[in-house]
Amino acid sequence: MSPLILFALVLALGFVGWAAGRARATAFAQGGSAAKRPHSVKSYHGWYVALWAAVPALLFFLLWQFVSPILVTSAVLHGPAAGLLPTDPMSRAAVLSEARGLAAGEVTAAFNPLSNQMAPAFAAAARRYALMGAVITLILAFAGGAFAYLRLRPNLRARTKVERLVMAVLLVASLLAVLTTLGIVASLLFEALRFFSMVSPFEFLFGLDWSPQTALRADQAGSSGAFGAIPLFWGTIFIGAIIAMIVAIPLGLMSAIYLTQYAHPTARRWLKPALEVLAGIPTVVYGYFAALTVAPAVRDFGVALGIPSSSESALAAGLVMGIMIIPFVSSMADDSLAAVPQAMRDGSLAIGATTSETIRKVLVPAALPGVVGGVLLAVSRAIGETMIVVMAAGLAANLTANPFDSVTTVTAQIVQLLTGDQEFDSPKTLAAFALGLVLFIITFVLNVIALRVVRKYREAYE
Amino acid sequence: MSRPSTQWDSEAMQARLRKRYASERRFKLAGLAAIVGSLGFLVFLLGTMTWNGAGGFMETRVKVAIDFPRSDLFIDPGSLKGSAANQALAGADIEGMVAAAARDQYGPAGADFISEAAWLRVREEIGRDPTLLQRRADFWLPAASGLEGRLEFGRLKDTGVIQRGFNGRFLTSSDATDPAAVGIWGAFKGSLITMLVTLVIAFPMGVLSALYLEEYAPRNRWTSLIEVSINNLAAVPSIIFGLLGLAVFLNFMNMPRSAPIVGGLTLALMTMPVIVIAGRNALKAVPPSVRDAALGVGASPVQVVFHHVLPLALPGILTGTIIGMARALGETAPLLMIGMRAFIAAPPSGISDPATVLPVQIFLWSDEVSRGFVEKTSAAILVLLAFLMAMNGLAIFLRNKFERRW
């Protein structure tokens, strides 16, 4: 029986339970006197039965999806076919997984002839356990529904019980965010610790040489397997925190000032969403634009200036990233300017300052903490940005301050290390998780500081 | 101590005022320049993409006359009926026959004029109309991507064997090695399936946790832990979610690589915090008097929220959801991590089939060396941007139509 049909059957049983429970509650309401009026509205009696029918059965069904593969394997291992298996644990596992694939139809032809012999045993066991799971699921659904139906009384607190389940579901849903955070921290930490057992953390954090290709032969050039990440950190800061911010802070701040202080309300209504379109364009589009249009122009410009330039440059990636960040800086600056009390602005204008003097001497200094918080958030966005640097900044780990040269970043290297042919458990792939951990910690710290600064500042004016 | 003159009609005061007003004008102009510069960049970017991409929807075709009875091709017309037709066509050397026909007409280099995949169209035509095999027929076949640059192009154009037309196949076929034969339908369908998985998981989870946090959660340490993790997740770089997907879904749970289910799950974890934050803002905007009135007539807390507050907040929640989904649709980096960058020549038919998505397809094409891919990449970008614009337009429409001011 396919899982989908089983799922539909359980839901159908739940619906039958709902209808039956509701019908019975209707009978209570009609039969009884005012004193025996049911505690809950009749549809809650229906939901009570339906949930008893569906929830335990579906929970079991879900659990069974995880348990049954283990049961199937152990059944095969204890069956007669197990005698054929090789004793060597490595090839044993290979044959088992191949036979499992064959039986499930995921693999069409086996590499190992032994797998072909094992496959029928797997298929039989899988069929047996699937049938067993289906039968138990249906029995649970039926039993749950019947149990609840028999417990229906006029004074049953059906609504309270149904609502308790609703609250539990709400709580579980909101715990998912915590689980995701834990999952991120655990998976990054776990893989990064394995990396640090092969490469010392000191070398990783302070080394100046990055060339993650491990040498296949001793005399191979350029493949030393060095994991000094300083060039990556520098590249990330150079592009995300320096070049991009030189573009984004003046443009974003001035846009916000013009929109909030000078622009006509009609103009503002059109210009602000237009500016926000910049934030909605996918990063891969920016990356393509940077690589195709901006990078060649930057290179030609560099060559004209007589500076050594490469076709992929920090400047091209940083410029485009800065443009992408503009609406982000501008909306944060907008919020903080709006939070400055009107009295301060009026006071300044009243003693004869011009609008620009008011903005420069009163509004911006007063809004500065908010603006700084916004810039920190923008930096954290910029250093986590991936596609623009992958497509336009290059992969050469140069430690250079020349913006026309190619540099690489943490995110670009993560993509580089984890795509293409990869063998797991090599320091090369694990290094990506160590870089991810560093990136996660830095963006986390930046966000916490930025949010704290913004909140403190808001409180100051309330 | 001498103070500057404050006499209004004095020369010094007037000069100072002029200077201050000039600086005021300069400052205002700088603000305008910042806006115009940013928007100018936007226009330049969109213009470049449209300029490059418009050609991607067009194709150049070359007329090739094929005389089937006189060609070396042998297909038994009887075998083209029923189910054996595909097999009979696959066995015949149509590719060689088409190349020979092109050489006959245009000289020894003729076979290079037409696209590598051109013969597939001839095969389709034969499959549709087997009587072609008994006569001579003209075919308009897609040109090789470098044809415009060849010396012979001008001569060909003058003889009227070149035609330029709308390339409908770009919207209906999938990835290929030859830029003249690629299409985006495969990637588009992959995007749709991935988004569906994301929506099915992120929307209910996001709405339910927004309801809990905004309406029921007690103010204690655990609640603030949940709030901190949601706010933090919304700011985590997307590539970190890719690493999470790789470590948990692929390596730990052994889910299939390159599958929309894994991509959808990863993007759902990324989109959920956005939906929670938008949902909480929408719930906050529902005035407390609605809750008080419902409680006053005897509704339970759950009934208050599900019967009264949630329906009022739903337009706001939907707007936030659409914006979050639009962001997920344009996301590339996490999907690269979970292997959705393989060459996939057939559109996926389910959530566990190997698939790719539009932004990743753009990334893959941008890496191709062949010149023909430049306009195809830009054309794919135009399709992606149009799709995003439609989603954002829908969000704005919803907001304008249903937003209520209390």
Residues of A in contact with B341 (CB under 8 A): 419
Q: Does residue A323 sit at the B interface (CB-CB below 8 Å)?
A: yes
Query: Any alpha helices (H) in A209-243, and if so which ranges?
Result: 230-236
Q: Do B28 and A323 touch (CB under 8 A)?
A: no
Cα distance between residue B81 and residue B88, in whole Å: 10
Helix (H) or strand (E) holding B163: strand B162-166
Specify whether the CB–CB gap between B365 and B381 falls below 8 A: no
Least confident of A23-37, A267-281, A286-300: A23-37
Q: Do B49 and A285 touch (CB under 8 A)?
A: yes
Residue type (1 letter), A148: A
More confident residue, A243 or B1: A243
Task: Give the model's pLDDT for residue A424.
Answer: 61
Residue of chain B whose Cα is closest to the Cα of A263: B32
Average pLDDT over residues A14-43: 79
| CB-neighbour burial class of residue A111 (10 A; exposed 0-12, middle 13-18, buried 19+) | exposed
pLDDT exceeds cutoff 90 at A120: no
Residue for token digits 């808001």? A458
In this prediction, residue A202 has a pLDDT band, given cuts at 50, 70 and 90, of confident
Q: Do B225 and A284 touch (CB under 8 A)?
A: no
More confident residue, B72 or A1: B72
Residue type (1 letter), B226: I
Cα distance between residue B349 and residue A412, in whole Å: 32
Task: Give the model's pLDDT for residue A329.
Answer: 93
Cα distance between residue B125 and residue B226, in whole Å: 61
Residues of A in contact with B241 (CB under 8 A): 184
Q: What CA–CA distances, in Å, run from B334 to A140, A411, B125, B326, B337?
A: 40, 11, 41, 15, 5
How does A81-103 read in b/e, with b if 16+ C-beta sit within 10 Å?
beeebeeeeeeeebbbebbbbbb
Residues of A in contact with B359 (CB under 8 A): 282, 284
Q: Does residue A367 sit at the B interface (CB-CB below 8 Å)?
A: no
Q: What CA–CA distances, in Å, run from A180 to A188, B194, B236?
A: 12, 19, 11
Q: How far away is chain A from the Cα of B9, in angstroms, using its nearest Cα?
A: 16
Specify whether the CB–CB gap between B237 and A385 falls below 8 A: yes
Indicate whether this complex's ipTM tops 0.85.
yes
Among A178, A212, A181, smallest CA distance to A195 is for A212
Cα distance between residue A409 and residue A429, in whole Å: 16
Residues of A in contact with B216 (CB under 8 A): 167, 170
Specify whether the CB–CB gap between B364 and B184 falls below 8 A: no
Q: What CA–CA distances, in Å, run from A321 to A413, B34, B336, B378?
A: 17, 16, 20, 19
Q: Which residues contact A145 (CB under 8 A, 6 or more apart)?
A: A13, A14, A16, A17, A20, A49, A50, A52, A53
Task: Give the model's pLDDT for residue A330.
Answer: 93
3-state secondary structure A406-420: CCCCHHHHHHHHHCC
The helix/strand/coil state of B139 is strand
Q: What CA–CA distances, in Å, run from A167 to A175, A232, B197, B202?
A: 12, 47, 25, 19
Specify whether the CB–CB gap between B275 and B210 falls below 8 A: yes
Cα distance between residue A434 and residue A419, in whole Å: 16
Q: For residue A277, give the nearest of B42, B212, B384 by CB distance.
A: B42
pLDDT exceeds cutoff 60 at A217: no
Q: Does residue A166 sit at the B interface (CB-CB below 8 Å)?
A: yes
Angle at the Cα of A275 from the Cα atoms of A274 and A279, rounded to 5 degrees? 110
Interface of A with B in 382-401 (CB under 8 A): 383-387, 390-391
Specify whether the CB–CB gap between B403 and B315 falls below 8 A: yes
In this prediction, residue A398 has a pLDDT band, given cuts at 50, 70 and 90, of confident
Cα distance between residue B28 and residue B20, in whole Å: 12
Residue of chain A whose Cα is closest to the Cα of B377: A288
Q: Does residue B236 sit at the A interface (CB-CB below 8 Å)?
A: yes
The residue of A174, A194, A358 whose CB has the most chain B CBs within 10 angstroms, and thus the best one to mutate to test that interface, is A174
Summarize pLDDT for A69-114 with one digit per residue, the tens: 788 888 877 777 777 777 676 677 777 777 777 776 666 666 777 7
Strands B162-166 and B58-67: antiparallel
Least confident of A40-44, A383-387, A436-440, B89-93: B89-93
Residues of A in contact with B337 (CB under 8 A): 414-415, 418-419
Query: Any alpha helices (H) in B173-297, and if so which ranges?
Result: 185-211, 221-233, 238-244, 260-284, 288-296
Task: Give the model's pLDDT for residue B82.
Answer: 62
Specify whether the CB–CB gap between A334 and A259 falls below 8 A: yes
Interface of B with A in 101-160 (CB under 8 A): none
Q: Do B31 and A380 touch (CB under 8 A)?
A: no
Residue type (1 letter), A230: I
More confident residue, A40 or B279: B279
| CB-neighbour burial class of residue A167 (10 A; exposed 0-12, middle 13-18, buried 19+) | middle
3-state secondary structure B312-339: HHHHHHHHHHHHHHHHHHCCCHHHHHCC
How does A228-260 read in b/e, with b if 16+ C-beta sit within 10 Å?
bbbbbbbbbbbbbbbbbbebbbbbbbbbbbbbb
Q: For residue B38, give the nearest of A190, A255, A284 by CB distance.
A: A255
Mean pLDDT by 10 residues, chain B (406 residues): 72 89 94 94 93 83 77 68 66 76 77 76 76 77 74 74 79 80 88 94 94 90 88 90 90 83 93 93 92 93 92 91 92 89 80 87 87 86 92 87 75
The residue of B16, B45, B216 whose CB has the most chain A CBs within 10 angstroms, and thus the best one to mutate to test that interface, is B45
Summarize pLDDT for A338-382 with one digit per residue, the tens: 888 999 999 999 999 999 999 999 999 999 888 999 999 999 999
DSSP, residue by residue, B64-119:
EEEEGGGSS----GGGGSGGGHHHHHHHS-HHHHHHHHHHHHH-TTGGGTB-TTHH
DSSP, residue by residue, B376-387:
HHHHHHHHHHHH
Residue of chain A whose Cα is closest to the Cα of B26: A356
Cα distance between residue B315 and residue B322, in whole Å: 11
Instruction: For chain A, report the end-to-end CA distance as a whole number of angstroms.
Output: 63
Beta bridge partners of A214: A224
Q: Do B39 and A275 touch (CB under 8 A)?
A: yes
Summarize pLDDT for B1-18 with one digit per residue, the tens: 567 777 778 888 888 889
Backbone angles phi, psi at B166, to 5 degrees: -70, 135
Q: Does residue A192 sit at the B interface (CB-CB below 8 Å)?
A: no
Here the tokens at position A194 are: 């394995």
The helix/strand/coil state of A353 is coil
Q: Which residues contact A54 (CB under 8 A, 6 or more apart)?
A: A10, A11, A13, A14, A17, A141, A144
Q: Does residue A454 sit at the B interface (CB-CB below 8 Å)?
A: no
Interface of B with A in 260-289 (CB under 8 A): 269, 272-273, 276
Residue of chain B whose Cα is closest to the Cα of A180: B269
More confident residue, B92 or A223: B92
Average pLDDT over residues A226-246: 91
Q: Does residue A12 sit at the B interface (CB-CB below 8 Å)?
A: no
Torsion of CA A78, A84, A86, A91, to 10 degrees: -90
| CB-neighbour burial class of residue A131 (10 A; exposed 0-12, middle 13-18, buried 19+) | exposed
**DSSP conformation class of B176:** -
Here the tokens at position A5 are: 């049909």
Cα distance between residue B368 and residue B366, in whole Å: 6
Q: Taking the CA of residue B28 as centre, how many other CA atoms within 13 Å lie in the half-sphere pointing to its CB?
A: 14
Task: Give the model's pLDDT for residue A204.
Answer: 87
Q: Which residues contact B141 (CB under 8 A, 6 or more apart)?
A: B61, B62, B63, B64, B98, B114, B115, B118, B121, B122
